[in-house]
Chain A
Amino acid sequence: MSWPPDSAGGTPEPPAPRRRPHGWRGALGAVADHGFLIALAAVCLLPLYVMLIASFERAADFDGAALLPTLSPTFENYRTVWTELGFDRMFVNSAVLSLSAAAIATALAAGAAFGFTRLRFAGRGLLLAGVVATMAIPAIVVIVPLSVLMTDLGLVDRLPSAILAEAGLLLPFAIFLLHTYMRELPSELFEAAEVDGASRWRQFREIALPLARPALATTFLVSAIYAWNDLLIPLVLWQAEQLTTLMVGLALLGPSRAGTQNVPLLMAGVTISILPLAVAFAVARRAVVRGLVEGGER
């Protein structure tokens, strides 16, 4: 048993260089490889490239498409969407939804994962299988009763509705991720603590949580990304204008404004919606990638 587990999903290592045939055939092969990958990378990056350059165009000068950066870039679009189209408020709403749902999911999952790993009780295996199965249930399948339930509870258009729904849908994935990590912690540590007289709660707080910190970070981060990116739940449960999230805002504004001279504005808005993800990814690439690989589409 290796510990700490380093293969949780396996963070890809850079491809090790292989010896390729020398001479002109090898050189030709290398050129072909690079050509293929450059073409593919271009296809992947171009849409985001045109998004970025359009976001710096002046709306008045924009004629429907921009393939090259403008010579007179402006931040005006960012200022406008932020202050006049309400992206400032949407940003806050998205952040509230994303961070609180991730916090709730991570906190509850930590307790449940500890229970699953450290306690032997009847029905444990069945419950765990249920958790794994629930990971595969998408939001759309439960959205109908969920919206009715939230209406009955009087929670629609109030903060807890989307936050609880998002946390509940993320929870199985969070439990699974933390469980796979915690089960690799050496059981002797907990036995030692037990002999030392520590309660379960103390074992959880002082031993399990500090040791699981990397997995907790991954779980929180990936949960936050999913919640930030989700459209359906806030669209249905947070319909009030003051609760609009970035994704809902984009979904409402996009179709009515694309293809018009409002495109630069819209692209500025999209850029704002992606920015926190880019930051999270830049800061914690390994944790994010590991969590995404483990969780799949949650």
Chain B
Amino acid sequence: MRAAAAATARAARGAGWLAPGLALVGLIVAYPLVRVVEWSLTDRTTFLDGSFVGLDNYRQLLSDELFWRAFTNNLILLLSVPLSIAIALVVTGVLYRGLRGGRLYELAIFVPFLPAVASIAVVFLYVLSAGGPLNELLRGAGAGALAQPWLTDADVAIWSVLGVVLWKRIGFTVLLLTARMASIDRTLLDAAAVDGAGWWRTYWQVAVPGMRGIIAFAAVLGFIEAFSWTFAYVVILTRGGPDRATYTLEYLLYRLQFDEQLVGLASAVAVFLLVAALAVAAYRVHSARREALL
């Protein structure tokens, strides 16, 4: 009895410190999470509470061509993950191969990560416009044939968005990899070098395996970004157009909720995104456990 009372007292003391923060997270994240799942099973709109409709919303989404196009576009943006990691691996290898001024290059490559997606997107609206700097540059370089309406051609637009996402991602991925690289035991690299292995062989076989964890971390962040942080790109660069060719799930959700007022349907889209987020959540909890942070 005494032990139980003491445990309760300890829990109560803990609550005092945690309560304000947890209450806010509960209000802003946990409560809406419950609600979004609940509403995805109703035909609720902004103005009507709606009634329970089972899985109708999901059925409707899965039979909607626009939903699948949006999903495909998310998958296309997901290509930024392997691409950014591949490029970052090469960049890190070159940086550590031992040249002067590596720090400056690193800084230059990191710069795109700092500004907001919204700021970057507006810059690229200009850069990629029909008469804009990129096409000018191509024409000036005698590659005028490559010049195109980057954001207004339905076949090209989503790939342009991918280019911008990739452009913004690389610096951060390089930052993650170089951070890890700095903590790799240099004597390992030296030992391989003494054994007569060339730099790239040493790098791939000794350094890169040691970076597996951070590469997984970069991949997971890229994954969640491709599904859940593309909103600002799409809403500014293309508004889903042309001809709804660049819808992503996020943008679809936003339009359903705020233009069409279809709360139930928008919630169902949110649940799809939630599944992706939960996969990432599971990974983060798992790796925090492994690093004994919990």
Contact = CB atoms under 8 A, between A and B. Distances in A.
Interface stretch (A72-80, A120-128, A186-194): A120-128
**Contact size class for A?**
35 or more
A293 B11 CA distance: 33
A231 B7 CA distance: 44
A43 B224 CA distance: 25
A198 interface: no
B60 interface: no
Interface in A104-130: 104, 108-109, 111-112, 114-116, 119-125, 127-129
A121 B17 CA distance: 12
Q: Which of B87, B115, B280 lies at the interface centre, i.e. has the most chain A CB atoms within 10 A of its CB?
A: B115
A176 to B, nearest CB: 8
Interface of A is mostly: helix
A108 B288 CA distance: 21
A250 interface: yes
Given A67-B133, A140-B250, A15 B98 contact: yes
Contact of A10 (B103, B120, B183): B183
B76 interface: no
Contact of A18 (B96, B217, B257): B96
Contacts of B170: 40, 44
B75 to A, nearest CB: 17
A59 interface: no
Contact of A65 (B18, B132, B172, B278): B132
Interface string B274-294: 100110111111001100011
A64 B182 contact: no
B117 interface: yes
Contacts of A171: 21, 24-25, 28
A259 B29 contact: no
A72 to B, nearest CB: 19
Contact of B33 (A10, A142, A296): A142
Given A15-B96, A108-B20, A44 B109 contact: yes
Given A11-B179, A66-B133, A251-B235, A132 B294 contact: yes
Contacts of B285: 129, 132-133
A14 interface: yes
Interface stretch (A81-89, A210-218, A270-278): A270-278
11 contacts: A12-B175, A15-B96, A17-B100, A44-B167, A47-B112, A65-B131, A111-B17, A115-B18, A132-B288, A134-B25, A274-B114
Interface of B: 7, 10-11, 13-18, 20-22, 24-25, 27-33, 35-36, 39, 46, 87, 91, 94-103, 105-106, 108-109, 111-127, 129-133, 135-137, 140, 167, 170-172, 175-176, 178-183, 186, 189, 193, 199, 217, 220-221, 224-225, 228-229, 231-232, 235-236, 239, 250, 253-254, 257-258, 263, 266-267, 270, 273-274, 277-278, 280-285, 288-289, 293-294
